[in-house]
Structure 1
Amino acid sequence: MRIAILAGGSRGDYQPVIALAQELVRRGHEVGVTATTDFAPWVREHGLTVEEVHVDAMQIYRDGDVSTVMASTGVAGQVGALRAQAAAMAPELARALIDLWPRYDAIISTALTVGWVAQLAAHDPRPQAVLLFVPALPSRHGDASLFADREGASLHNLRAGLRGVLPGLAMSAPVTSALAAQGVPRRRSLRALRHTLTVPAVIAHTPQLIAPRRVSGRQIVLTGYPFLDSPAGTTLEPELEAFLGDGPPPVYAGFGSQSLRVTRAALGHAIEGALEAGHRVVALRGTGLPEGYDERVLFIDGAPHDLLLPRTAAIVHHGGAGTTAQALRSGVPQVVVPFALDQPFFARRAHEIGVAAAPVPVGATSVEALRLAVLDATQRHERAAEVGALVQQERGVEETCDRLLDGLQRERRSLGHTAPGGPPSRRDTSLTRYLHADEARVGLKVLYAGKDDDSGIEDPDLVRAGHILLHRHPGVIQLFYGPGVNHCIVEFVGLEDQFISTMVGFDHHRDGHYPGLLVPSEEEWVQACAAGWWNQ
């Protein structure tokens, strides 16, 4: 297949995409990766075809007020702030998407690009899969959604998720407007949402950190993080190698390239706190912090995490998805100083699984707080090593590619594209029909949302013995329960490997009808059960 990966964001967002794209190429696929001008040369250095978006994304981020807003508000506000950056990039993004679309057979979108694809797919359908590195769906479970901010299960976490999702959906509006201006018709919002929520999705991160729960009706599939490892023969810079060999393992402290006052202060506190705890320090440049320290501190412009982190005593970092995964794999304990978006989630989860001290949020740091956190972290070596050994056994690149390709092949069949090894099939809704409420009492199996799911639907006419629990159904491919909304979206396998995609509703009318409740007829159930597709 010719596969386009719609990537975007910072260096940490591109690294796992590069690893996956290289693996897809090794498997014989033609792969193109979208990249903004500031990252396009780096992606090309890895031997990949680049679909360049001619804007400097990180310059827009730094020059505008996006980074300032990110440091001063919650997740919902931070997600909303990214809309300003999307607006600045929208015309060029729309041009690039329209240009590349006809040249690829399939699309893999990421969290930052998924909102744009539905509009193009309606105009010219393509098989699509969604690649996520964070669990970006609302849930009441604190270990399964980046929007959750409390341990355990609570309605507070679910409400926080809903507050975060809505700005995220709105973030795509500037690009959809730009696409419309270039002749790509807008999709109705409900159909666009349905498309987004029912395409195959993979979360490429470790199950050691994110719980594989059912979130918003979807069973989270965790494939392990797709690390971009250093090529064989790569070594650290001589100065860094000499520093590491000249004493005990140092503390590593790095917060990326955020140059805000709070991140400069946090890095200074981390360095001084580690020194007061009795450790040497390797510190990452980029925040603008002055380097007036003695020989116990070495500043570096960067170093491969897979080579450096395992040789440290503790890792003080901002909690990005990739850095957290690398720190986990290293088997070294952590101190996480979260800044924005998914970072508070990863900071909290690293502490909950016992590999990190309690989070010290940026803006609330001090020398004493970081000294105590480093001392705490360095007592967690045994647990960190245990988790590290498990992460090292994961096959993130291979498993993620397996899942993505499987999802794209299913989409090819559902859209009528010819799949290898067989003739094209077509989307077919002949197995479904509308059901009157009275018919729910005569023994027909009914597709419904179970009472144990986040949807909260508990309808006595539907929750009864003999019904198929949709989330346990072997033929179900995708399922989304809208939290607080009495409907779900379903895609399931019918007879002869035909695909059915339909909305299943539970809104009562006064006459007792369930106007959106769709089930096969009794005769179709007999045929389906005989064919082995359905449980009885």
Structure 2
Amino acid sequence: MRVLLATAGSRGDVEPFFSLASALREAGHVVRVAAPEDPDAGRDVDVVSLGVSFAELGRAVADIGGMRAFREHIRPAMRTMLGRVVDEAVNWQPDVIVAHPKLLTVPVVAEHLGVPYLTVELTPVLTPTGEFPAAGVLNRSFGPAINRLSYRAAAVGERMFRADIRAARQRLGLSGTQNLAPPSGSLVAVSPTLLPRPADWPATAHLTGDWSRQPSPEGNLDTAVRDFAAGEAPYLYAGFGSMRGGDAATRAEAIVDGGRRAGLRVLLATGWGGLEPPQRCLGGDVLVVSSVPHDVVLPRAAVAIHHGGAGTVHAAARAGTPSVLVPFLADQPFWARLLHRSGLTGPPLDRDRLTADRVHAAIADAADRRPAVDRVAERMRAENGPATAAAVIARITASTGGS
């Protein structure tokens, strides 16, 4: 079976697809990944670029913001990716396409090729349920009816890029309706330990477990990070990934000072600019890097302070590392609420109101939650989301007449 995996976004949107690619290869399938061209996207699988760097896009959007950012940067980037994914699918002729929902032309090229496609939900945003609202749409539950309606927000993207979808149909010689054909299924890459399957989900929604990052090759590890993580004194990990905005220097200083008050060394990952520690707060007990492999640093960390993106939430929980969440946007408040209700974290901290006192108190609270986090970690380590997803893909492709 030839499987085209297509994704768009920052690191958290890309790395799970490489984990799935490895599982599909282990099951004997031929896999190609279409992904952004950021340097950290490459792995030992067949990869093609969709022609957009999300790191550069993120910096450009942050500098201007608003409708100008959409007009000058986001729309052109989307147009490039929506065209490239069509080209790659037509050229490679897969038996099935598994795609991030941002890639709105995948249903069009799947129709043209006569192959099934599946969508991927790295966080619950597409499959309606009355139990909770779509992540990133509403900040709390408003009851079953409103919760279900919130999932219609996903259709906004289709309307915003209707011209690109129409252009793809015309280029492929397809006539008739512009409405996107429904997928053969949805792969929800979320741990059932953290989010039990809603009772009202359809059978086409497959809660596979998250697609955790493959272990980092030992030879690729930064020596400073490896040595810091191997040190005897306990440390705090802090990182906000692709998030940026607000006073990144004050935020970083509060985390460093709060960690020191708790008797911890501090490993600070600056990411795309969410943390910018001033020189006055640095010292021998602080290591500042741009990014780190979570599978190496989280299992050894006493606590992790992070933005609450789906990937980091799952990585920390699986590692048995208590978290302090500082959500910025999108699905992050969803995960902050879920983990707080589950007793795995305390209340989330406001990214713009971090102080050393608040950070210190949150670290103490997180340490008290370690027994609950350990129980969750034990259950999550028994899950194999990529292998489960690979089996679902093979079953659906076979049932629809694919290879």
C-alpha displacement of 1:170: 2.9
2:130 aligned with 1:140: yes
Q: Is the 8 A contact 1:148 1:161 kept in 2?
A: no
Counterpart position of 2:192? 207
- Distance verdict in 2 for CA 1:303–1:65, change over 3 Å: closer
C-alpha displacement of 1:251: 1.2
Counterpart position of 1:403? 392
Moved more, 355-364 or 11-20: 355-364
Cα separation, 2, equivalents of 1:409 and 1:298: 50
Unpaired runs of 5+ in structure 2?
A: none
Alignment partner of 1:157 out of 147, 171, 174: 147
- 1:46-61 equivalence runs, <5 A: 46-61=43-58
Q: Is the 8 A contact 1:144 1:212 kept in 2?
A: no
2:13 aligned with 1:16: no
2:277 aligned with 1:290: yes
Task: Supply the AA of the counterpart residue of 1:369.
Answer: R
C-alpha displacement of 1:157: 3.2
Counterpart position of 2:345? 356
Q: Is the 8 A contact 1:250 1:280 kept in 2?
A: yes
Task: Supply the AA of the counterpart residue of 2:259.
Answer: A
- Distance verdict in 2 for CA 1:122–1:241, change over 3 Å: closer
Unpaired runs of 5+ in structure 1?
A: 70-76, 420-536
- 1:18 is paired with a residue whose SS is helix
Moved more, 125-134 or 227-236: 227-236
Query: Deviations for 1:75-133, whole angstroms, at most 9, x for unmatched residues?
Result: xx9xx969962443314531442343242232333333452222223333212222221
Counterpart position of 2:27? 27
Cα separation, 1, equivalents of 2:129 and 2:320: 29
Q: Is the 8 A contact 1:83 1:172 kept in 2?
A: no
Task: Supply the AA of the counterpart residue of 2:139.
Answer: D
Moved more, 381-390 or 258-267: 258-267
Cα separation, 2, equivalents of 1:321 and 1:83: 29
Cα separation, 2, equivalents of 1:121 and 1:224: 26
- 2:243 is paired with a residue whose SS is coil
C-alpha displacement of 1:274: 2.5
Counterpart position of 1:281? 266
- 1:362 is paired with a residue whose SS is coil
Cα separation, 2, equivalents of 1:358 and 1:82: 37
- 1:12-411 equivalence runs, <5 A: 12-39=12-39, 42-44=40-42, 46-65=43-62, 68=65, 85-91=74-80, 93-137=82-126, 138-142=128-132, 147-150=137-140, 153-162=143-152, 164-173=153-162, 175-180=164-169, 182-185=171-174, 188-190=177-179, 192=180, 195-196=181-182, 198-215=183-200, 217=202, 220-230=205-215, 233=218, 237-286=222-271, 287=273, 289-292=276-279, 293-411=282-400
What is the percent sequence identity of the aligned residues?
A: 25
Which has the greater radius of gyration?
1
Q: How many residues align?
A: 397
- Distance verdict in 2 for CA 1:338–1:81, change over 3 Å: farther
C-alpha displacement of 1:265: 4.1
Q: Is the 8 A contact 2:112 2:172 kept in 1?
A: no
Cα separation, 1, equivalents of 2:111 and 2:204: 26
C-alpha displacement of 1:232: 6.3
- Distance verdict in 2 for CA 1:395–1:245, change over 3 Å: closer
Query: Deviations for 1:146-202, whole angstroms, at most 9, x for unmatched residues?
Result: 54532695545344444x323233354353144256455466244x2xx22x52111
Task: Supply the AA of the counterpart residue of 1:127.
Answer: P
Moved more, 206-215 or 241-250: 241-250
Cα separation, 1, equivalents of 2:265 and 2:117: 48
- 1:115 is paired with a residue whose SS is coil
Cα separation, 1, equivalents of 2:309 and 2:198: 22
Q: Is the 8 A contact 2:133 2:141 kept in 1?
A: yes
- 2:17 is paired with a residue whose SS is helix
- 2:346 is paired with a residue whose SS is coil
Cα separation, 2, equivalents of 1:228 and 1:310: 14
- 2:305 is paired with a residue whose SS is strand
- Distance verdict in 2 for CA 1:222–1:83, change over 3 Å: farther
Q: Is the 8 A contact 2:322 2:369 kept in 1?
A: yes
Cα separation, 2, equivalents of 1:368 and 1:265: 13
- 1:485-524 equivalence runs, <5 A: none
- Distance verdict in 2 for CA 1:223–1:180, change over 3 Å: closer
The TM-score normalised by the length of structure 1 is: 0.66
C-alpha displacement of 1:351: 1.4
Cα separation, 1, equivalents of 2:71 and 2:155: 13
Moved more, 286-295 or 301-310: 286-295
Q: Is the 8 A contact 1:91 1:175 kept in 2?
A: no
Cα separation, 2, equivalents of 1:99 and 1:390: 38
C-alpha displacement of 1:410: 2.0
- Distance verdict in 2 for CA 1:114–1:302, change over 3 Å: closer
